[in-house]
Amino acid sequence: KKETKKRPTLITDVNSVEGNICLVDELKNIFEVAITSAYPDLKDPPVVITLSGNNPKFGDYQCNSAMAISQMLKANNVKTNPREVANNILNKTPTSPFIERIEVAGAGFLNIYINKMIAEHILNCILRFGVKPPPVKKEKVVVDFSAPNIAKEMHVGHLRSTIIGESICRVLEFLGHDVLRINHLGDWGTQFGMLIAHLQDQFPDYKTHSPPISDLQAFYKESKKRFDTDEEFKKRAYACVVALQAGQPDYIAAWKLICEVSRQEFQKIYDRLDISIIDRGESFYNERMHVVVKQLKDGGFLENDEGRLIMWGDPDKHDSIPLTVVKSDGGYTYDTSDMATIKQRVEEEKADRFVYVTDAGQATHFVVIEACARRAGILKGDQRMEHVGFGVVLGEDKKKFKTRSGDTIKLIKLLDEGLKRALDKLVEKGRDKVLTPEELKRAQEAIAYGCIKYADLSHNRVNDYVFSFDKMLDDKGNTAVYLLYALTRIRSIARTAQISEEQLQAEVEKSGFKFDHEAEWKLGKVLLRFPEIILKVSSDLYLHSLCEYLYEISSAFTEFYDKCYCIEKDKEGKIVKIIYERLMLCEITARVMEKCLFLLGIKTVSKM
């Protein structure tokens, strides 16, 4: 029986088009209709739409399906060639308000010329209503990110997770998804036994006086040392774990205290980087772990392996590694907690998508967790579990990021250095003489934190990346500083012309935006791709495409601004002519850039 795929509905009414339309998707729909009506018997013909590149004689977009379809037809013994196929597709292409004309070129390319009127309409929508997200089916998404471990260092890996996770949340929230931002803190486990035992010795009155533990790392190291060398202490540490797990109030209080001290340290980082996240550490799943272990036991999913209980993702193919669900001493593991976690997120949060942002080293862990969760029926159907993995942070010597003395780098110190360097940069440019102290401080923070975030996000996250303040603070090239400067410059154009936002808005209402120069069209086409980029990022969670897009906007803007003047001045510098359409294009550019920077978690400033 022939399966009939539903044909996409095409847009025919220009007035139904809004500023958030994804142009390339509409083109795909149009050519899907064209191709299926030209070749109704062909199964799943490819519909390939790409940008045409820089030469205007190849149109704005291209449909490159003809070559592949010609091959498919030849395989079915139909005699044809790509040019003929292209012409057949062309003949079947429905008229659309999006397309001005189509040409068959070269070996069978279909060059598509976008209708400038609809492009103007879309850009006018952005001027009137702002930068709006493309419509999507709304989902509930749990984003598990940051997740440092209590009483241990929050290291540069956690910094990456924090920066990437925050940005993913912003993108998904912008699209209207219901996002639960979860900090899966490492706040449970046997290490708390030794921490509590050490706390009891060092600060016997910890219940009435909050202990002044300023350096929890040192505290951790001391207790670890005692644990490793002192048998008596080790025994007590184990007893503390038992008491803690049994929920004895004193021990719970001591545990909470230690968590609190750590958490305050983490919060300093979150405040500076403008991160919002809800704490829900491993301890939250304490009871739930018993429940999920019982479920897995009852389901017959667990195997005894020399005393420990393990679970395979695929019981017939033992090619990956199994989960350790229960250790031989009866204790639970990181695996157990993540099984309880996924169950909670599916059943209690009723989420559709589960995102985990951790270093790439944990990729296998999440693959196996997903396989086991599916096997046990905890994760079902189209519920999506995704591991957003990232590479390690390297120093400029391409080795693991360390201080000169070989210690791990304290994050707060790193942020402080960023602040210092950002200020140096501003002073070097003499900005301290132009800006007010408040403006200077705002610029300094925007640059420092912005550059750290952007350097991270602009690299493909799966790769290792080299942390270099010199590179990230360079104001040429694809950096936050460059983009922030570009944005302030764009914002200053209307200010120089002494045109207020209200005046510009009045012009929008009166005549609206229209294209004139070729460089305007080039910039306009880049701006029109915003919905496409956002959809792509929200699906593959690779934020560097958003950074590349920002850089592309700013390059297209530079070209436009070189070729097209927005205001004309006479010899005395008096403004004699204002080209409002171009100021409008500046406004749209600034708005799209601001939105992108916001989604990357980067604060913008009006002056720097």
In the shown chain, the binding pattern of residues 277 to 296 toward ligand ARG, with x for contact by CB under 6 A and - for none, equals --------------------
Shorter beta-carbon distance to ligand ARG: residue 314 or 359: 359
Look at the alpha carbons of 505, 510, 513, 517 in this order and tell me if their dihedral is positive or negative. negative
Shorter beta-carbon distance to ligand ARG: residue 366 or 482: 366
- Closest approach of ligand ARG to the CB of residue 393, in Å: 14
Question: What is each CA distance from 397 to 166, 400, 402, 469, in whole angstroms?
Answer: 28, 8, 10, 13
On the CB side of 376, CA atoms within 13 Å amount to 27
Q: Could you tell me which stretch among 144-152, 228-236, 271-279, 429-437 binds ligand ARG (CB under 6 A)?
A: 144-152
- Closest approach of ligand ARG to the CB of residue 351, in Å: 13
Burial class (CB in 10 A: 0-12, 13-18, 19+), 49: buried
Shorter beta-carbon distance to ligand ARG: residue 154 or 528: 154
Q: Could you tell me which stretch among 142-150, 294-302, 469-477, 529-537 binds ligand ARG (CB under 6 A)?
A: 142-150
The identity of residue 34, as a single letter, is: A
Shorter beta-carbon distance to ligand ARG: residue 211 or 389: 389
What's the CA gap between 54 and 76, in Å, rounded?
Answer: 36
| Residue carrying the six token digits 């999440």 | 366
Residues 50-109 that bind ligand ARG (CB under 6 A): none
Shorter beta-carbon distance to ligand ARG: residue 144 or 352: 144
* 3-state per-residue secondary structure call for 153-210: CCCHHHHHHHHHHHHHHHHHHHCCCEEEEEECCECCCCHHHHHHHHHHHHCCCCCCCC
Q: Centre a 10 Å sphere on the Cβ of residue 258 and count the other Cβ atoms it contains.
A: 24
Shorter beta-carbon distance to ligand ARG: residue 124 or 358: 358
Tell me how many residues contact ligand ARG (CB under 6 A).
9
Which residue among 356, 401, 549, 561 contacts ligand ARG (CB under 6 A)?
356
358 touches ligand ARG (CB under 6 A): yes
Shorter beta-carbon distance to ligand ARG: residue 70 or 358: 358
- Closest approach of ligand ARG to the CB of residue 159, in Å: 12
Phi-psi region of 398 (alpha: psi -120 to 50; beta: other; left: phi over 0): left
- Closest approach of ligand ARG to the CB of residue 280, in Å: 10
Total length of the chain: 608
444 touches ligand ARG (CB under 6 A): no
Residues 272 and 449 sit within 8 Å (Cβ to Cβ): yes
Token output for 308: 């420990």
What's the CA gap between 4 and 23, in Å, rounded?
Answer: 25
- Closest approach of ligand ARG to the CB of residue 157, in Å: 7
Cβ partners under 8 Å of residue 192, min gap 6: 240, 241, 244, 255, 258
| Residue carrying the six token digits 């493909």 | 460
In the shown chain, the binding pattern of residues 169 to 188 toward ligand ARG, with x for contact by CB under 6 A and - for none, equals ---------------x-x--
- Closest approach of ligand ARG to the CB of residue 356, in Å: 6
Shorter beta-carbon distance to ligand ARG: residue 353 or 442: 353
What's the CA gap between 198 and 226, in Å, rounded?
Answer: 8
**What is the Rg, in whole angstroms, of the alpha carbon atoms belonging to the chain?**
29
What's the CA gap between 388 and 540, in Å, rounded?
Answer: 9
3-class state of residue 83 by DSSP: helix
191 touches ligand ARG (CB under 6 A): no
Shorter beta-carbon distance to ligand ARG: residue 32 or 166: 166
Shorter beta-carbon distance to ligand ARG: residue 334 or 551: 334
The identity of residue 48, as a single letter, is: V
Which residue among 23, 35, 38, 147 contacts ligand ARG (CB under 6 A)?
147
Look at the alpha carbons of 128, 131, 136, 142 in this order and tell me if their dihedral is positive or negative. negative
149 touches ligand ARG (CB under 6 A): yes
- Closest approach of ligand ARG to the CB of residue 151, in Å: 12
In the shown chain, the binding pattern of residues 9 to 38 toward ligand ARG, with x for contact by CB under 6 A and - for none, equals ------------------------------
Q: Could you tell me which stretch among 17-25, 124-132, 143-151, 418-426 binds ligand ARG (CB under 6 A)?
A: 143-151
Which residue among 32, 60, 144, 187 contacts ligand ARG (CB under 6 A)?
144
Which H or E run includes 588? helix 580-599
DSSP assignment of 489-556 equals HHHHHHHHTT--HHHHHHHHHHT-----SHHHHHHHHHHTTHHHHHHHHHHH--THHHHHHHHHHHHH
- Closest approach of ligand ARG to the CB of residue 161, in Å: 8
386 touches ligand ARG (CB under 6 A): no
Shorter beta-carbon distance to ligand ARG: residue 156 or 243: 156
Residues 324-343 that bind ligand ARG (CB under 6 A): 338, 341
Shorter beta-carbon distance to ligand ARG: residue 149 or 283: 149
What's the CA gap between 70 and 80, in Å, rounded?
Answer: 6
- Closest approach of ligand ARG to the CB of residue 353, in Å: 14
Shorter beta-carbon distance to ligand ARG: residue 280 or 525: 280
Q: Could you tell me which stretch among 91-99, 141-149, 402-410, 473-481 binds ligand ARG (CB under 6 A)?
A: 141-149
The residues that touch ligand ARG, with contacts defined as CB under 6 A, are 144, 147, 149, 184, 186, 338, 341, 356, 358
